[in-house]
């Protein structure tokens, strides 16, 4: 090795030491990481009859982004699902890194006149299992059709206050509040919201979603 080469290698040593001692790029603070939310739902979440990107989970994610709130929202909506169906697929629909779940099942139970005790038991099991996994929850409600009679309507409505007395969750009483009965916001089937209807749902539920996200961030470790 020549003397010139030795001098050149020696000059590079301090640079190599500086590079090797440089601290790694800092990880994002716990409060800055996107909150991962799964929407466990039925046809409303699945975006029945809507163009791609116009469904409830997608519009919710877009609106939160515009508000500067970092989230990752997974659409786990399956058209036709009841609360019992949601329970049966809970583990595969809600992966391990999930921090919050919006439960949007139960409307099909009411539409089909399923025994409210069956719906309550399924929702209770979902809440219990998510609580055991330390996942925050926003539970959305639904009013039973008037055609099923006042007794059924009262029994179905009682599901949610009863669950609230046992579990801690954010609750939104009626997922189609402001949309149901408004033909301008409903598709031709007379049941599912159109794109404008979805936007109304997102706007109205937004304060509860922000409560949900605040709960997640409040439980995170620094």
CATH number for 94: 3.40.50.1110
pLDDT, position 221 = 74
Q: Is residue 23 part of a domain?
A: no
**191 backbone dihedrals φ, ψ, rounded to 5°:** -130, -50
Is residue 4 assigned to a domain? no
The Cα–Cα gap between 102 and 198 comes to 15
In a domain? residue 21: no
Q: Residue 205: inside a domain, yes or no? A: yes
Q: Are 212 and 138 in contact (CB under 8 A)?
A: yes
* E strand segments, 78-179: 100-104, 136-140, 170-172
Enumerate the β-bridge partners of residue 211.
none
Number of domains in the chain: 1
- Tell me, yes or no, whether 5 lies in a domain: no
Which pLDDT value is given to residue 13?
43
N- to C-terminal Cα distance for the chain? Answer: 52
Going by C-alpha positions, the residue among 63, 85, 87, 60 that lies closest to residue 74 is 60
Is 160 within the bounds of a domain? yes
- Domain with 110, as residue range(s), is 28-216
Place of tokens 């929850």: 137
CA atoms of 188 and 183, how far apart (whole Å) = 9
Backbone angles phi, psi at 43, to 5 degrees: -65, -30
pLDDT (tens, 9 = 90+) of the chain, 222 residues, equals: 554 444 554 444 443 333 333 444 443 445 578 999 999 999 999 999 999 999 999 999 999 999 999 999 999 999 999 999 999 999 999 999 999 999 999 999 999 999 999 999 999 999 999 999 999 999 999 999 999 999 999 999 999 999 998 999 999 999 999 999 999 999 999 899 999 999 999 999 999 999 999 999 998 876
Residue 12 counted as domain residue: no
Q: Rounded CA gap, 186 and 195, in Å? A: 9
Residue 90 lies in a domain: yes
**What pLDDT does residue 24 have?**
43
């Amino acid at each position: 090795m020549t003397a010139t080469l030795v001098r050149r290698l020696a000059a590079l040593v301090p640079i190599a030491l500086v590079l090797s001692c440089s601290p790694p790029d800092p990880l994002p603070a716990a409060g800055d990481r996107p909150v991962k939310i799964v929407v466990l739902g039925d046809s409303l979440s699945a975006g029945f009859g809507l163009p791609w990107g116009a469904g409830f989970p997608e519009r919710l994610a877009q609106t939160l982004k515009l508000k500067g709130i970092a989230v990752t929202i997974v659409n786990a909506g399956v058209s036709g699902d009841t609360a019992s169906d949601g329970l049966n697929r809970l583990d595969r629909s809600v992966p391990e890194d999930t921090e919050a779940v919006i439960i949007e099942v139960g409307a099909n139970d009411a539409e089909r006149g399923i025994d409210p005790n069956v719906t309550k038991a399924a929702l209770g099991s979902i809440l219990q299992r998510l609580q055991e996994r330390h996942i925050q929850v926003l539970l959305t409600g639904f009013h039973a059709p008037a055609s099923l009679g006042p007794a059924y309507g009262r029994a179905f409505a009682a599901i949610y206050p009863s669950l609230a007395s046992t579990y801690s969750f954010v609750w939104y009483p009626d997922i189609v509040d402001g949309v149901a009965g408004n033909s301008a916001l409903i598709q031709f089937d007379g049941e599912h919201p159109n794109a404008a209807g979805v936007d109304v749902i997102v706007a109205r539920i937004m304060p509860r979603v922000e409560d949900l996200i605040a709960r997640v961030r409040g439980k995170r470790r620094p």
